[in-house]
Structure 1
């Protein structure tokens, strides 16, 4: 039997805490035995969980000998990590313990230095903050989870469930993981590389900016095969000036902005219409259905058909 220690920090997010407890505690082996023993650990006997106070039966000593440690999300991701917690996690890592984080739990795990030089993820809304506060980490903002072997990180709470199922599959195989997924009413096939379904502003630039009229024109002409020179000519400026203004005001290039706008419009059409994938691809400016499917999957991590089934 594997031992999973769930580490509760101050202002722990209750759902992120309960997810691994529920998933691992329900896991059964083919002979009916429990697959995991659960320990809820904390630095102090009582932990602030926002709406209530959490009592942790195990102290930090409960991390000793655990096969896996889970660090749930916290509502205070940039709060200083207590030295005792930091030292306990480092000691566990030195012993070879697998350590995983859910959502903003990546921040306290990153504060230990254990993720330095590695690829990691967190909820998309906090990915920029993670990259800014821990530049030594390669932040992957658009995946469900990242498995580095000993250290694993996941995006939001739902992605934490994906990560738990992934670890069960690593420990006991696909059959046991599939049973755990069915009990959680979750699909097993969502892989870590699948993109987070990130909510983005329709127009990624402030109203009133000098680019706003041009961006409206681009949005109205998504189906046209526009070049940078044609965009610059419409804007009445040189190509070099156009690219500079785009980078200054949107953080990207004209063609990259146009590509993202096309994908956003395709997402909207997949959600709200019954139009065929081929028609939508042509409507938003992709030269062929194959090109549309390839670019859509590269951007979102799923096919247009899968996206429609999920969100229509």
Structure 2
């Protein structure tokens, strides 16, 4: 596929929240600023709304004033039809927080755009709009983990995965919120224009060149509960000694409890068992070492307490969703234990073009 027209749907609501504006700005930045030295032609951007000509943004009608900006466009939602890619960066907060229905005009426009052959994309809560249009039925989808339970409850025919950054089902793609939305947009550029163009664009945006969609949104690694004289000190000690072959009996003895009592107390305090807690802390330590050092995986396995490289790969991939090597590629400017990693002192990339976006 080559670069084509990208239509971004934004609804007139009582102002757009800062989070909604964040996902919208990601789509506008990636597809709306031309980089013809990387690919010519670049994408053509079409901003579409249910109320053409009305201001959209924190200074829009009904919104708190003084926040400094608003958007206007002459395209209605009917302009979604005919685009190569349609992106829904969000839905109004009330559609998520208060259970309000996604506006029927948007639902119908999305159905018509999909029927016309457009590639359908949602960023964060935009998944609620695609689901309302029936475009996620029988498909795997994601959104920000804070909203996935509501998405799954409201749309049981959708397989909601709250553990990934984004999903790609060919003609329908969804992402979690915040930086995961940027990951998906760069993934689209990679699909359309190739890895080199996507990597160069990522450099200009000073972000990771590529994060696999299957990578976990976050890793639960409960910290030692503060103010608990029985557990806090021993768990803090364990975090500082992860490289050692720790056992539940070791921790219980240090906490001056029986193994059974220690197990029960930790489960009550963190919601997880002692061995699972240790594993989570060790995976988190491995993540930190992969991000900040050039140590070989064998050494990282030793320092994190996960043992062999094979054991590290098995546990890390299961918890994070990608291999240690793939995870490390997301952090090209990390430093080694003795100094900067090769290339870390170089600038992450030259500024991108500030030319006016081609708008239809």
RMSD: 4.0
Match of 1:264 among 257, 263, 284: 284
Give secondary structure in 1 for the equivalent of 2:87: strand
Q: Is the 8 A contact 2:119 2:171 kept in 1?
A: yes
CA distance in 2 between counterparts of 1:284 and 1:188 reads 26
Choose 9-18 or 256-265, whichever is displaced more: 9-18
Deviation of 1:41 (Å): 0.7
Q: Give 1 or 2: higher helix fraction.
A: 1
Separation in structure 2 between the aligned mates of residue 171 and residue 283 of structure 1, nearest angstrom: 41
Separation of aligned partners in 1, 2:92 and 2:231 = 36
Contact 1:214 1:235 in 2 (8 A): no
TM-score by length of 2: 0.67
Q: CA deviation at 1:59?
A: 0.9
SS at match of 2:242: coil
Q: Kindly indicate whether the alpha-carbon contact (under 8 Å) linking 1:29 and 1:35 is maintained by their aligned counterparts in 2.
A: no
Match of 2:57 in 1: 49
Greater displacement, 57-66 / 151-160: 151-160
Aligned to 1:236: 258
- 1:299 maps to 319
What is the CA–CA distance in structure 2 between the aligned matches of 1:307 and 1:30, rounded to whole Å?
Answer: 21
Higher relative contact order (CA 8 A, sep 6+): 2
TM-score by length of 1: 0.76
Equivalent residue number for residue 77 of structure 2: 60
User: Structure 1, residues 249-295: CA drift from partner, whole Å, max 9, x if none?
Assistant: 54444322221111223445566789776555324322224423543
Specify whether residues 217 and 75 from structure 1 end up closer, same or farther in structure 2 by C-alpha distance, changes over 3 A only. Answer: farther
1:8 aligns to what? Answer: 10
Matches within 5 A, 1:139-288: 139-174=160-195, 176-178=197-199, 180-181=201-202, 183-186=204-207, 188-196=209-217, 198=218, 202-203=222-223, 215=235, 218-219=238-239, 222-226=242-246, 235-236=257-258, 238=260, 250-268=270-288, 278-288=298-308
Q: CA deviation at 1:61?
A: 0.9
SS of residue in 2 equivalent to 1:191: coil
Q: Is the 8 A contact 2:224 2:231 kept in 1?
A: no
2:125 partner SS: helix
Closer/same/farther in 2, CA of residues 114 and 288 from structure 1, 3 Å limit: same
How many residues align? The count is 308
| Distance in structure 1 (CA, Å) of the matches to 2:224 and 2:57 | 35
User: Could you tell me whether the CA contact under 8 Å between 1:27 and 1:36 is conserved in 2?
Assistant: no
Query: How far, CA to CA, are the matches of 1:116 and 1:95 in structure 2?
Result: 18
Q: 1:255 to 1:23 in 2, by over 3 A?
A: same
Question: SS of 1:54's equivalent?
Answer: coil
Whether the 8 Å CA contact 2:120–2:173 is kept in 1: the answer is: yes
Q: 2:143 aligns with which of 98, 119, 122?
A: 122
**2:8–2:86 Cα contact (<8 Å) kept:** yes
1:78 aligned to 84, 96, 99, which one?
96
Determine the structure 2 residue equivalent to 1:22.
Answer: 29
Q: What residue ranges of structure 1 are gaps of 5+ in the alignment?
A: none
Q: Distance in 2 between matches of 1:175 and 1:141?
A: 30
CA deviation vs aligned residue, 1:176-218 (integer Å, no higher than 9, x gap)? 545544554555443323344x375652768659866775565
Q: How far apart, in 2, do the equivalents of 1:217 and 1:132 lie? A: 41
